[in-house]
Amino acid sequence: MPESQQDPVTAAVAAVAGRAMGAPLDPRLRVTCSFHPDRWASPDSGELVIERLVREGVYASQFVTGTSNGGLTAYLGGDRFRWESSLFDGAYDAADPDLRPKYGALDHRLRGTGASPRFGSSYIRLAAHTLERTTFCYPDSFADPTDFGVAAACSLTGLADADSRDLMDDYVEAHVHGHLDLATDVEALVLDPSYRGTVVEEAARGLACPVEWHGGFVASIDDIRAHPGFRGAEIVSLAGELAVDGRLTPRLVGDAARTDRHHPQAIKQVWHYVARFGTAEGRANRPAD
């Protein structure tokens, strides 16, 4: 990368380093970036997210893709733009959008399904060297955090472990600065097993990084119906419509998302049910609903 393009990244990481406290991170820890591989890469594109990753060979900033599994404010003057401008001391205000951070989470709990599954059923696991250009906060940036970290100084895992946030919100958020090359910056793409034998797996085999599989999300409609307060009765009803044989998987939710028959926010909240109650850990921990 040209030196002139390195400057915003260096400045952004330095801005957070000045606010960071604590001991260095365990270098064995990894950042994971969760996403839905079977969603459309953009409206009317006819291309899946996984297919775009194969074609471009990079994991791009939401300022480049215009998509997000969280808020949709990554544009000039939007909430995400203003938050990044404040935290990173304006380092990216006039920079190449792809240098902006890619959002993920620190997998300090070593969950096989990724550190922040609320944002997707699958994830890329980043290589160790990317930690040096990663900044962290707790809780999620949406909650206006005041605690920050970098690889050389990070007390955030202790804060997260001592907190009582729900499993969907207990992650240490990560901001990976600069370009993310799937061939050199990623250890593996980790897919949900519901995608075995599908176009998602077929496309993923074209990536320059290894493909792995995690244990999988499978939520029973009975478990979903037991928690109407989690995302609401209307979402529970929609989950029931989408379930097959009383169960929901990432593949089924993705199939529904691509039909455009349901509001994207409703589909996102159905996914939250699957992410929250689709693993043994999730079922064993009752949400505060």
Q: Domain total for the chain?
A: 2
Q: Report pLDDT digits (tens) over 99-133.
A: 999 999 999 999 999 999 999 999 999 999 999 99
- Do 52 and 194 share a domain, yes or no? yes
Q: Looking at the structure, do residues 250 and 136 belong to the same domain, yes or no?
A: no
Q: What is the pTM of this model?
A: 0.93
Q: How far is it, in rounded angstroms, from Cα 170 to Cα 164?
A: 8
User: Can you tell me the distance from the alpha carbon of 166 to that of 100, in angstroms, rounded to the nearest whole number?
Assistant: 28
Residues 248 and 174 in one domain: no
Query: Does 289 reside within a domain?
Result: no
Low-confidence ranges of the chain (pLDDT < 70): 1-6, 65-77, 288-289
The answer on 209 and 249 residing in a single domain is no
Is 245 found in the same domain as 199? no
Beta bridge partner(s), residue 186: 126
- Indicate the burial class of 76 (C-beta count within 10 angstroms; 0-12, 13-18, 19 or more): exposed
Statement to judge: residues 120 and 72 lie in one domain: yes
176 lies in the same domain as 105: yes
Question: Which of 192, 213, 234 is where one domain is finished?
Answer: 213
The predicted-structure confidence for 9-54, as pLDDT tens digits, reads as follows 999 999 999 999 999 999 999 999 999 999 999 888 899 999 999 9
Q: Are residues 173 and 262 in the same domain?
A: no
Residue 1, both tokens: 């990368």
- Would you say residue 33 lies in a domain? yes
The residue range of the domain holding 264 is 219-280
Residue that finishes a domain, picked among 173, 198, 213: 213
